[in-house]
Amino acid sequence: MVETKLLYPLYTLTSAAEHHSTRFERPTAIGAFNVNFYSQAVGILKGLEIARAPGIIQASKGACDFQGSPLEIQKMTLSAMKDLNHEYPICLHLDHGNKDSCLQCIYSGFSSVMIDASTKKREEIRNGNKVIIEEKTPLEENIEATKEIVKAAHKSGISVEGEIGVLRGKEGDKESSVEIYASPEEIFEYGIRSKLDIIAPACGTCHGPIKEFKKLEEGLLEGARQMFYEEGIEMPFCLHGSSTIPPEMVAEFMKYGGKIKKASGVPMSAIKRAIELGVRKVNIDSDLRMGITTVFRKYFQEHQGIQNTNEILKGIYDILYGNKEAKDPKSGKILVNAEVLDPRVYLVDVPKELLRKSPKGSCLEEVMSLVEAQVSNHVASLVYQFGSVGLTIDRGLTLEAMASKYNK
C-alpha cells in the first residue's frame, strides 16, 4: 500500500458538502471538474473559491497515466490546494475507473472513486478487420463489480460512484454509438444491492463537445428517485457528459484557428431540471478542454513568433499548428491538428515538472496564468448555476469519520 500523508483533508462525494435540497430549500448540485495538470487544478480551485463552493476534482485513468500515476495526481491536487491556501471542501475522485484503477486510487489518497462497469468491450473480426463492440454489462455483473469496490473503498471511508446504462460517445477508453437506458427498477436494484454512494444513470447526455442533445430522460430519473424515496433513501445521481459548450466559446475557439463542426452542449435548463430530479454531481470536462485550447491558440496568435524563443513552446505550437503529428493520448490515433481540444495532445512533450507544480519562472508562466483565469471564470459561472454557491457551512465528515459511519 502506498503511504499517503495528506497535507489537506479530502472529503467524500457525499460529505464534501451537505448538498441535500433541504439545506437551502432548493435543489443544488456540486460541480465535478476533470483535471490533467497543475494550472487546470488551480483554475478549478480558484473558480470554486470565487463561488465559495465545495467541489469535486476528478481525474480519469487517462489523466493518471498522463501524470504518471494516481499518486502524482493526488500530490498535484494537494499542492495546488496548499499553494492557494484553499479553504473549501474538495473531493478528489477517480472518473470512469475500472477495478485496477479504483484500487490504485483507493491506495493513493483519493477520497472517492467511480467504478464504471456498466459496459464491456468485446473484440470481433468483421470482414477481416478487428472491431470493438461495446456491450451493456448484465445487471448482476455490474452489481458484483461495484460491490467489490464499495467494500474496498468504504473500509477507508472513500465514497463510490457507479454507472448504469450506456452513454453515447467516448468514456475513458470505451466508445459507443448507441445509448442504452436502464429502467428505474434496474437503477433501484443496482443502488440498493451494491450499496454505493451515487449513481450515474445514462439519461440523455453524452461525452464530448458534439452532443446533439435531444432530451433529458426525466421519467427515468423521477421513477428511480421515487423508488429510493419510498425506501427512505435520498439517492444522489450524477450527470455525466454535462459540458455546456457555449456558442461564444466555440466562436472564440474557431476565431483563433480551431476547427470543429456542429459543436453543442447540454442546455443549462436541462442541467437545472436534472438537479430538480435528484442530480447532485455534474461532470464537466469538454468545456475546460475547449477553453484551455483556445487560450493556447490565442496566446500564440497574440505573441507572434514566441514559439521560436523556446523549445517547449515550439513543441506545443507545432502540434497545434500542424508542423508535427497530433496523437490521441489513449489510442495513438492521428488527429487533425486544428481539431485538437485535449491539452494532453499538445502538452505531451512538456516536462512533467512544469505540469505538476506552479510554472512560475518558466516559459509557461504567462500562458498558464491565462489558462487559470479562463478555467476559474468558467468554473465559477457554472457553479453559480448549479446552486452550490456558499454551500460550505460546515466542512463535512472526514474520511475517518466516514469510515466509521460506513462500517457501523
| Residues belonging to the active site | 95
Binding of residue 208 to ligand 13P (CB under 6 A): yes
Binding of residue 242 to ligand 13P (CB under 6 A): yes
User: Which member of 74, 101, 243, 294 binds ligand 13P (CB under 6 A)?
Assistant: 243
Q: Binding residues for ligand G3H, how many (CB under 6 A)? A: 10
Binding of residue 241 to ligand 13P (CB under 6 A): yes
User: Which member of 77, 111, 118, 286 binds ligand 13P (CB under 6 A)?
Assistant: 286
User: Which member of 161, 171, 186, 252 binds ligand G3H (CB under 6 A)?
Assistant: 171
Binding of residue 211 to Zn ion (CB under 5 A): no
For the bound state, the minimum distance from the C-beta of residue 230 to ligand 13P, rounded and expressed in Å, comes to 29
Binding of residue 15 to ligand 13P (CB under 6 A): no
Backbone angles phi, psi at 115, to 5 degrees: -100, 115
Binding of residue 220 to ligand G3H (CB under 6 A): no
Nearer to ligand 13P, 184 or 208 (CB): 208
Binding of residue 287 to ligand G3H (CB under 6 A): no
284's contact among Zn ion, ligand 13P, ligand G3H, none, with CB below 5 to 8 A by partner kind, is ligand 13P
62's contact among ligand G3H, ligand 13P, Zn ion, none, with CB below 5 to 8 A by partner kind, is ligand G3H
Q: How buried is residue 295: exposed, middle or buried, by Cβ count under 10 Å (0-12/13-18/19+)?
A: buried
User: Which member of 161, 197, 285, 372 binds ligand G3H (CB under 6 A)?
Assistant: 285
Q: Which residue has the cell 475557439?
A: 253
161's contact among Zn ion, ligand 13P, ligand G3H, none, with CB below 5 to 8 A by partner kind, is none
For the bound state, the minimum distance from the C-beta of residue 287 to ligand 13P, rounded and expressed in Å, comes to 6
- Residues in contact with ligand 13P by CB under 6 A are 34, 95-96, 207-208, 240-243, 283-287
- Residues in contact with ligand G3H by CB under 6 A are 34, 60, 62-63, 95-96, 171-172, 207, 285
